[in-house]
Amino acid sequence: MGIAEKFVGQGLSVRYTPEASVVHSHPLTPWEQFRRYFDIGVFMARRPNLTRARPAHEGLYYARAQVAALWKSGRMEWLPSVFLDLCARYCGLNAGLRHRRIPAFLRPRLSRQAGFWENEPSR
């Protein structure tokens, strides 16, 4: 998102190409997922130019796709795990979006990038 923001700011454009695919995995625990999404929320909160990003909409789309994939594959026993993962993402993102309301000493503990907060004013 940061690179796309920079490109657009320089008069370039960014294109979504659904034919392009990337297969990757982040095998994270719910706590690690929370921390990852906390950082994403902080990033988005600090860049008001990203108003086109709609995390709640995208998250709902992702959640529906996950449940549909479980249903289609007949693996509904994974639903509790997927639900926990989705909750961690949602809570982390919302905490990150509101990071300025969180005490400064807690922010590095919630982030996967603790070093980012070293020179952060405690506002």
Q: Please provide residue 102's backbone torsions phi and psi, each rounded to the nearest 5 degrees.
A: -95, 135
Residue 122 has pLDDT above 60, yes or no: no
- The whole-angstrom separation of Cα 87 and Cα 92 is 8
- The whole-angstrom separation of Cα 87 and Cα 105 is 24
* Residue bearing tokens 């929320």: 41
- pTM score: 0.78
Q: Are 89 and 29 in contact (CB under 8 A)?
A: no
Burial (CB < 10 A; 0-12, 13-18, 19+), residue 61, is exposed
Amino acid at 116: F
**Helix, strand, or coil (residue 8):** helix
- Per-residue pLDDT tens for 44-102? 898 877 656 666 777 788 888 888 988 999 988 989 999 999 999 999 999 999 999 99
Share of the chain above pLDDT 70, in %: 92
Distances (CA, A) of 119 to 48, 114, 115: 22, 11, 8
Of residues 122 and 92, the one with the higher pLDDT is: 92
pLDDT of 17 reads 81
Amino acid at 48: P
Distances (CA, A) of 117 to 12, 90, 107: 31, 22, 7
pLDDT of 121 reads 63
